[in-house]
A and B are shown apart, each in its own frame.
Chain A
Amino acid sequence: MAQNQASVAPMGKGKKSKVVRYNRWGYIFLIPFIAVFLVFNLIPLISTFYNSFFENYMAQLNHVGPNFVGFQNYKTLFADGKIWQYAGNTAIMWVMGFIPQIIVSLLLAQWFSDTRLKLKGSTFFKTVIYMPNLIMASAFSLLFFALFSDGGPINDLLMKMHILDEPFKFFSSKWATRSLVAAMNFLMWFGNTTILLMAGIMGIDVSLYEAAEVDGANSWQRFTRITLPLLKPILIYVMITSLIGGIQMFDVPQILTNGTGNPTDSTMTLIMYLNKHLYSKNYGMGGAISVVLFLLTGALSLLVYNIMYRKKDKEA
Chain B
Amino acid sequence: MSEPIGEIKKSTSTHARRVIAYIVLIILSILCLFWFYILLIYSTRSNGEIQKGITFIPSTHFVENFKNLVNSSQPVFQGLRNSLIIACSSALLSTYFSTLTAYAIHVYDFKLKKFIFTFILMIMMVPTQVTVLGFIQLMTKMNLINNFIPLIVPTIAAPVTFYYLKQYMESALPLALIEAARIDGSGEIRTFNTIALPLMKPAIAVQAIFTFVSSWNNYFIPTFILKKEKMKTIPIIIAQLRSSDYLKFDMGQVYMMITLSIFPVIIVYLILSKHIVSGIAMGSVKG
Contacts and interface: CB of A to CB of B under 8 A. Distances in A.
Interface in A97-146: 104, 107-108, 111, 116-119, 123, 125-132, 134-146
B143 to A, nearest CB: 14
Nearest to B28: A129
Contacts of A116: 14
Interface stretch (B58-66, B67-75, B214-222): B214-222
Given A130-B280, A138-B217, A41 B38 contact: no
B37 to A, nearest CB: 11
B197 interface: no
B104 interface: yes
B148 interface: no
A278 B38 CA distance: 36
Contacts of A19: 109
Interface in A239-295: 241, 244, 247-248, 250-251, 254-255, 258-259, 271, 274-275, 278, 283, 286-287, 290-291, 293-294
Contacts of A191: 32
Interface string B269-282: 11001101100111
Which secondary structure dominates where chain A touches chain B?
helix
B258 A234 contact: no
Contacts of B107: 26
B287 A40 contact: no
Contact of B130 (A51, A198, A294): A294
B264 to A, nearest CB: 10
Task: Name which of B51, B135, B216 has the most chain A CB atoms within 10 A of its CB.
Answer: B135
A252 to B, nearest CB: 10
Interface in A163-182: none
B130 A196 contact: no
A41 B157 contact: yes
A138 B219 contact: yes
A156 B53 contact: yes
B81 interface: no
A143 B35 contact: yes
A43 interface: yes
A278 B132 contact: yes
A200 B284 CA distance: 11
A101 to B, nearest CB: 12
Interface string A12-48: 0000000100111111111011101101110111111
Nearest to A255: B242
B248 to A, nearest CB: 11
Report, nearest first, the 5 A-B pairs whose CB atoms are least far apart: A26-B108, A44-B134, A199-B281, A29-B104, A47-B134
27 contacts: A22-B108, A22-B188, A27-B112, A29-B103, A33-B97, A33-B100, A33-B101, A40-B150, A44-B138, A108-B28, A117-B17, A131-B33, A134-B265, A136-B217, A138-B235, A143-B255, A151-B247, A160-B53, A190-B28, A219-B17, A251-B217, A290-B131, A290-B132, A290-B133, A297-B127, A301-B125, A311-B287
